[in-house]
Amino acid sequence: MFIDIDGVIIYDPGYLSDVNEIMFLPGVLESLCKARCHGYYLVFISNKGGVYSKKGFTDMELRKMDKYISSKLIENHISEKSFSTYYCTHYPPQLCSCRKPLSGLFEKAVAEHGIETNKSFAIGDKLSDLIPGDTIGCKLGILVKRNQEYFDDQSETSDNFPRLNSLSDAINFILKQNDNQ
Ligand SMILES: [Zn+2]
């Protein structure tokens, strides 16, 4: 599973740049653990370039936040071997091939972890989180509400991707689909 971070697993206030502000959304850690139990490798991919350019966000802060997120996952029985995090720290007008909706980081994860893309899913609160999944041949992309119901819902909608309330709903939907096969 390829999963967006801000607004999907943690609360996104719009410019998160401080490890002390990280708040996991309700039910997320339990759901990720469930996905892991069903054999899914978890890949978290985030664009971090915008924050860099606007707020003077540093590598050190990003590393701190990454470390915190990883420690929370591990604390919740999602072992170090069962997930990876990838960040694009480039920002426009810098050109790169990894900033979503481009698929560079998705491809890197596939190569590094031997992921079978046709059995994989992408989950995010923006179309740009799902487009790279399509590019690499994921089975399905699922659009979820930004910050669940904790914020005015400014999420995008699309005819191409089913839209659900939360990461937990998306994971339940995926596991149910597999049961029906
Ligand atoms: Zn990049």
CA 110 to chain centroid: 15
Q: Are 40 and 1 in contact (CB under 8 A)?
A: yes
Tens of pLDDT, residue by residue over 2-26, are 999 999 999 988 777 788 989 999 9
Q: For residue 46, give the CATH number of its domain.
A: 3.40.50.1000
* Sign of the C-alpha dihedral computed for residues 76, 108, 138 and 147 taken in this order: positive
Q: Are 76 and 24 in contact (CB under 8 A)?
A: no
3-class secondary structure, 119:
helix
Ligand 1 mean position, distance from CA 103 (Å): 10
Q: Per DSSP, which regions of the chain are E strands? A: 2-4, 42-47, 83-88, 121-124, 140-144, 163-164
Percent of the chain with pLDDT over 70: 91
Which tops the pLDDT comparison, 57 or 130?
A: 130
For the full predicted model, state whether its pTM sits above 0.85: yes
Residues with CB under 5 A from ligand 1 (ion): 88, 90, 96, 98-99
Ligand 1 mean position, distance from CA 175 (Å): 31
Rounded-to-integer distance, Cα 165 and Cα 144, Å = 5
**Average pLDDT for 102-124:** 97
Tens of pLDDT, residue by residue over 135-180, are 999 999 999 999 987 655 666 778 889 999 999 999 999 999 877 7
Ligand 1 mean position, distance from CA 176 (Å): 34
CA 8 to chain centroid: 7
For 167, which DSSP code? H
Least confident of 11-20, 53-62, 72-81: 53-62
Rounded-to-integer distance, Cα 178 and Cα 23, Å = 30
Backbone angles phi, psi at 135, to 5 degrees: -60, -40
Ligand 1 mean position, distance from CA 69 (Å): 21
Q: Are 70 and 81 in contact (CB under 8 A)?
A: no
- The total domain count for the chain is 1
State which residues form the domain around 128.
2-179
Rounded-to-integer distance, Cα 37 and Cα 24, Å = 20
